[in-house]
């Protein structure tokens, strides 16, 4: 399958969207012989998200990816990526999480920004700060639709950067210093990941600056009221049934989510 015509972009979007909606892993697009440029991968992403919107979902923000130097090196890239978040991805804190809606979910500790002003194009750190209403701790659930959670850069962008769910904690003042705060993610009261917000591009605010730049390059705007996930502060942890995941931070409080314990809430890594 070639990827240089609109029909193929739509077909690929349908393939990825079906994998996500049916929670069924597919072979990586690159392994299927599909050769996508990064621009084409974003076209697939947009067409896939458009299907969600057509089903009644509403875009509420974006998530940033590859915001750690280690992940950039691992993927052989030198820039961040992004993908839309919809209201269907928002998971209420404290609500039980059914893992059957995912393929092989993982969870990451993050920081979320709530915009009070629209952003697009090249901006300074000061301009980024002035556009933020509040900051919150967050847990992002990522779930690649590809087998073995393996992908190329273009594969993951086409798959909406593995976006699957987000749990938001309490919103706090945007004046809080978040440049280098401790972040500990626990599973059933045992620390599984320990890190710092500084792992997010050296300072989470830089992720917001990068998000505005990507928006400008795409010819769109991050609207007021949008949520921006800055990126993971540590490596991701696999989500399993019967887990109570809690993120504790130095300055932003905590946020948590629990997975169902019955067998219907657990899914094997591959189907």
Task: Give the global pTM.
Answer: 0.92
Say if residue 133's pLDDT is above 50: yes
What 3-state DSSP class applies to 163?
strand
The rounded distance, in Å, linking the Cα atoms of 84 and 52 is 11
Beta-carbon contacts of 258 under 8 Å, excluding residues fewer than 6 positions away, are 94, 96, 97, 243, 244, 245
Would you put residue 148 in left (φ > 0), alpha (ψ -120 to 50) or beta?
left
Per cent of the chain over pLDDT 70 is: 93
| pLDDT the model gives residue 55 | 97
The rounded distance, in Å, linking the Cα atoms of 115 and 24 is 34
Radius of gyration of the chain (CA): 18
Give ∠ CA 151-247-196 in degrees, rounded to 5: 75
| pLDDT the model gives residue 7 | 52
Say if residue 97's pLDDT is above 60: yes
Give ∠ CA 10-13-19 in degrees, rounded to 5: 145
Among residues 265, 245, 263, the alpha carbon closest in space to that of 255 is found at 245
pLDDT band at 108 (very low <50, low <70, confident <90, very high): very high
Domains for the chain: give ranges and CATH numbers. 59-265 (3.90.850.10)
pLDDT band at 51 (very low <50, low <70, confident <90, very high): very high
Is residue 266 within 8 A of residue 98, CB to CB? The reply is no
């Amino acid at each position: 399958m070639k990827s240089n015509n609109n029909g193929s972009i739509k077909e690929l979007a349908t393939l990825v969207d079906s994998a996500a909606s049916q929670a069924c892993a597919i072979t990586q697009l690159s392994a299927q012989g599909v050769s996508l440029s990064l621009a084409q991968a974003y076209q697939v992403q947009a067409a896939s998200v458009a299907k969600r919107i057509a089903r009644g979902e509403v875009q509420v923000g974006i998530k940033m990816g590859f915001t750690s130097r280690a992940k950039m090196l691992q993927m052989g890239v030198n820039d961040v990526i992004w993908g839309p978040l919809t209201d269907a991805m928002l998971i209420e804190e404290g609500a039980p999480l059914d893992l059957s809606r995912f393929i092989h979910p993982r969870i990451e500790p993050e920081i979320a920004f709530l915009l009070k002003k629209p952003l697009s194009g090249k901006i300074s750190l000061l301009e980024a700060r002035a556009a933020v209403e509040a900051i919150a701790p967050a847990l992002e659930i990522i779930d690649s639709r590809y087998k073995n959670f393996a992908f190329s850069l273009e594969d993951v962008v086409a798959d909406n950067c593995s976006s699957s769910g987000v749990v938001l904690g309490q919103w706090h003042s945007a004046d809080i210093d978040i440049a280098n705060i401790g972040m500990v993610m626990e599973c059933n009261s045992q620390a599984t990941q320990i890190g710092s917000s500084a792992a997010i591009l050296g300072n989470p605010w830089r992720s917001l600056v990068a998000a505005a730049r990507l928006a400008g390059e795409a010819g769109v705007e991050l609207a007021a009221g949008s949520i921006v996930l800055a990126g993971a502060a540590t490596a991701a942890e696999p989500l399993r049934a019967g887990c109570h995941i809690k993120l504790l931070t130095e300055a932003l409080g905590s946020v948590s989510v629990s997975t169902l314990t019955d067998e219907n809430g657990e899914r094997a890594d591959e189907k």
